[in-house]
Amino acid sequence: MKKNLIGRIAGVLAGTAVIAASITGCGSSADGETANAATVTAQGTEAASTAAETESSEATASDSSKVYRTLDEIKESGTINIGVFSDKSPFGYVDENGNYAGYDVYFAERIGKDLGVDINYVSTEAANRIEYLQTGKVDIILANFTVTDERAQEVDFALPYMNVALGVISPADKVIKNLEDVSADDQIIVISGTTAETYLEKNYPDIKLQKYDAYAEAKTALENGNAAGWANDNTEVIAFSIENEGFTVGIPSLGDADTIAPAVTKGNESLLNWLNDEIKTLGEEKFFHADYEETLLDTYGADYEDTLVVEGGKVE
């Protein structure tokens, strides 16, 4: 009996070792392309150049192990996979008829049309946008993806199509005007994997964060009064304050002004170049203004049009 138990434990440990070994092994091979980029995230721009060098030398050597699909491959297959939000109204959401809609989706539809392929929408959460690109599950992420240095080391961003900054919304009877005023007992809601989360972790490490997976849950939590406020892209919190009475955007702009851009898998140059050309061409016909008027006007009114829209990839 005793021997039996020891045997079982040994068996389980051996099993663990196999799992561990396979993960490590898979790490070293799959990591090849991104290893340098991944290990130096904290050091910022300096690292980016070394990462880029490795990238170009690797690209020729390991062409067979690429996870992404080139422009030609996408056209040939007849379908493009685009990752969008399904719960971030009015940018990417599923409407009452079950169809994807919103500012991002309007752009995605145009991409599909101009490429001459069908679109397969893949619903993403904020935290898995990079993963989806790195594993080749989607060709493009069009999910309100804010451009940051850290992310630019993991994926390739095309030209921007929207401006964004961070904002903080709070109940109207207890408005947060300054993050210094957040007491030690209060929590701020953030969504896992967003720029708001990274910004607060870095700049306000003392503020307790209440993290959620998805927009729908974060919004319900705010409505239920589970936290003192919610920090997110200002577009998002402004939209929320317009749609829900009793909430005020006490801090409309926080941190640096950022841009939002489509992203593709690192190294997917053919698709990236096509996207950049597309965005430039669309600028001539004022496509993103039309997009705004179609999808965002109801929520934000005309006042925000020039603040939010970036046309032809040129930030003013």
**59 binds another protein per the rule CB under 8 A:** no
* String marking each residue 222-251 x if it binds another protein according to CB under 8 A: --xxx-------------------------
Question: At its nearest, how many Å lie between another protein and the CB of residue 110?
Answer: 28
26 belongs to the binding site for another protein (CB under 8 A)? yes
- Name the one range near another protein by CB under 8 A: 83-91, 206-214, 270-278, 305-313: 206-214
Q: How far is the CB of 302 from another protein (least distance, A)?
A: 34
Check residue 45 for interaction with another protein (CB under 8 A): no
Binding part of the chain for another protein, among 71-79, 106-114, 125-133, 164-172 by CB under 8 A, reads 125-133
* Contact call for residue 14 and another protein (CB under 8 A): no
Q: Could you tell me the smallest distance in angstroms from the CB atom of residue 87 to another protein?
A: 13
Q: Is 64 in the site for another protein (CB under 8 A)?
A: no
Ordered DSSP codes for the chain: -HHHHHHHHHHHHHHHHHHHHHHHHHHHHHGGGTHHHHHTGGGTHHHHHHHHHHHHHHHHHTGGG--S--HHHHHHHTEEEEEEESEETTTEEE-TTS-EESHHHHHHHHHHHHHT-EEEEEEE-GGGHHHHHHTTS-SEE-S--B--HHHHTTEEE----EEEEEEEEEEGGG----GGG--TT-EEEEETTSHHHHHHHHH-TTSEEEEESSHHHHHHHHHTT-SSEEEEEHHHHHHHHHHSTTEEEEEEEEEEEEEE--EEETT-HHHHHHHHHHHHHHHHTTHHHHHHHHHTHHHH-GGGHHHHB--TT---
Nearer to another protein, 192 or 270 (CB): 192
The residues of the shown chain that bind another protein, judged by CB under 8 A, are 1, 5, 8-9, 12, 16, 19-20, 23-24, 26-28, 30-31, 38-39, 41, 126-128, 130-131, 134, 150-151, 154, 189, 192-193, 197-198, 201, 210-214, 217, 220-221, 224-226
